[in-house]
Chain A
């Protein structure tokens, strides 16, 4: 079974750092883009960026650029997203997704269960 399993919920204070993970299984991890999608409380989906595990090529949404860092560790089929200094506005559910990208198309065909991040003093 193809699946993405994410790390558990986090509660942090403003200014703290955080790294969440997403482990893929059931498919060739290095051959598919991994994306991250944010969903703020009561809001819609927001595309944050993608990383290609095969060569770590990374693309960020203009609104996200500089706020997070995406990375992968192919030896354990795991993708990460990290913050160096969290803000209250980072409170959200973060989904990792397997993103199928080719000319003219991108579809998010496998979703992780989501990681809830709460940032509060």
Chain B
């Protein structure tokens, strides 16, 4: 059971928008920044969003992050077949004194 809660899967047609939620508590998301990671099958994860809404160099602006209270959201606009992957949220947990992840969300392009 993951500390952060994500939907197992989301889907949409090419060109559409999907959002992935990440729900936590006051000991993690509520007081810390959130990161998002993208993982393709058979590959290592990659940092997609950090500090709630910042994109590392090279990440297209179709990917955006936001946070409100103890929840965060990743949005992907202009969905492409190449976006099919697993997406994970992550943050620091004050109570556990360590990092925590969501269970991951599989994005499917219909």
Contact = CB atoms under 8 A, between A and B. Distances in A.
Interface in A42-92: 44-47, 49-50, 59-62
A35 B92 CA distance: 13
Nearest to B6: A44
A111 to B, nearest CB: 4
B98 A44 contact: no
Contacts of A35: 99
A95 B100 CA distance: 15
24 contacts: A37-B45, A44-B2, A44-B86, A44-B101, A44-B102, A45-B37, A45-B104, A49-B98, A61-B99, A62-B96, A62-B98, A99-B99, A100-B50, A104-B31, A106-B32, A107-B35, A107-B51, A108-B37, A108-B47, A109-B47, A109-B50, A111-B45, A111-B46, A113-B44
A47 B37 contact: no
Pick the 5 closest A-B CB pairs, nearest first: A47-B99, A107-B50, A105-B33, A44-B104, A107-B35
A114 interface: yes
Interface residues on A, range: 20 to 34
A65 B89 CA distance: 23
B69 to A, nearest CB: 15
A104 B31 CA distance: 7
Contacts of A100: 50
A47 B4 CA distance: 12
Interface in B39-68: 39, 44-47, 50-51, 56
B56 A104 contact: no
Contact of A61 (B33, B35, B90, B96): B96
